[in-house]
Structure 1
Amino acid sequence: MNPNNGLQQEHAPPLDIEPARRALLDVRTEVGKAIVGQDAAVTGLLIALLSDGHVLLEGVPGVAKTLLVRTLSTALSLETKRVQFTPDLMPGDITGSLIYEARTSEFTFREGPVFTNILLADEINRTPPKTQAALLEAMEERQVSVDGVSRALPTPFIVAATQNPVEYEGTYPLPEAQLDRFLLKLTLPLPGRDDEIEVIRRHSEGFDPRNLPAAGVRPVAGAEDLDAARRAVSRVAIAPEVVAYIVDLVRATRTSPSFQLGVSPRGATALLSTSRSWAWLSGRSFVTPDDVKALTLPALRHRVALRPEAEMDGGRVDDVLSGILATVPVPR
């Protein structure tokens, strides 16, 4: 797995694990039929679904961000709709709008693509802030308000947004308020040599990313399995010492000389919920400090901002967070 995401591969699960966890692990196996070398991102998306949160996927073009989301939704039997974010995209193009029906002389609401289980917001930073803000209510309240009427979104519902980290011309950086709505920020690196050889081998043998059933990807879980898994995650215990460890990590970001913006209490709750999901997915009924460490970077990296002088010195957010992990005392 990508060490920058902190999620390490677990050992094979025992045969007597609960059905919900078995189903989620089967999903990870199915995704591997189409995706090579992005295990950390796959696990991160599963953790986001278990924690009922949204994900920001960052990587250069061609590292399978869109394919990853499509494959995951296929394996989970969830509906996915894709929106290509462009400078001329309007809020109603996402949320839906009132349409005048000449036959009835009435306005009726036509649902936008946000009414789905997984909304793939492709290149979210290519649309203006007004349209980006159209997602805020949906992400936080799980509803859409049009003409004073609130309409609930399906359950489950998450936003999986992608952005390109290297091309900034014609983009609109996400404001801190919207970045904070994302539970995790996952980075998808370029594949290693062996993984890239496997990718090319699959394509040489006829792999078609537009035809996932032909690649053997099949539904192995559903919304019922995800609901059962979420209930199981809510029962994962977390000791007061581990809660205090989370708080100490978050508070350390606020006093770090490298950061001009530290992590808010929302970030602390995100680290708590994702640590519980990771512990359950790993087969434990309690959270360990190692679970917290594994999720610190993906849960917090988008909630902090480097000081200009730190950026000029070549500082990186992940390096500063790793330094904090190395200095904050770990509970025994």
Structure 2
Amino acid sequence: MSISFENRVAIVTGAGGGLGREYALELARRGAKVVVNDLGASRDGTGHSDAALKVVQEIEAAGGEAMSNGGSVTDYDQMIEMVARASEKWGGVHILINNAGVLRDKSFAKMEPADFKFVVDVHLNGSANATKAVWDTMRSQNYGRILMTASSTGLFGNFGQANYGAAKLGLAGLTKTLAIEGAKNNIKLNTIAPTAGTRMTQDIFPEEAFKAFSPDKVAPAAVFLVSEDAPTNMIVGAGAGVFQAAYVTLTQGKLLTGDDLSVEGVAAHWDAIIDRVGEIVPQSGSEQSMSILAKLQGR
């Protein structure tokens, strides 16, 4: 089965290089018209280049259609303008991949509050800005596919990346809520947690690993997750051609009553509380609440 994006319009943020570039090129190869968004900044968010235009030229040289956009995801008005330009030129926007990001890594003890705020603003608030900018368009056309970019740091933690991890786990939560809200309008949202050798990670990976984790080995998952038949509300890890699903699970837990309903009772029953046998994957916050009610009712 061949997956086509003919007659689809896609926006990819942070598409001037690395993962975003690969996503944009693959979507264009499959027929999508692509808005290549990139501020052209360095990985810490400073500076400027014409990276987006170069990717557009690559797409056009291969026979595809694309337009560049240098708007900052931290500026909601610029995101509104980007969506308006794409809609005016191509009639709508069907796909959004939120990929733009920066790094300002330091241990929390050494991190300045401004560095924490800036990373959260770009990753989390920037993705929310771009998504909000396209949301009404997708609702009105009863079709939308949105991909957020999380990280293993957000899901599992990593030394020196408190700002990055907070933003990335926030994106997973944003995705889960919007997947519920968007369902009635055929808007599907997913989260990808990529591991890739890019300019963002070039001084983290040894050279051999850097090559093994090339961005093109992540792109198949990202592009599938914004296709017409994509699932929704999933978290997918991708790196070096390995694809995994991650879940937020809930143990069966333990109902404590009487004298056990105390600090000491929690300590005494800790092993039962964390026992993973029979754990579930709630599809919404209300499902967790219902699981508590079920225990109270003895089910």
* TM-score after normalising by structure 1: 0.29
* Structure possessing the higher relative contact order (Cα contacts under 8 Å, 6 or more residues apart): 1
* TM-score after normalising by structure 2: 0.32
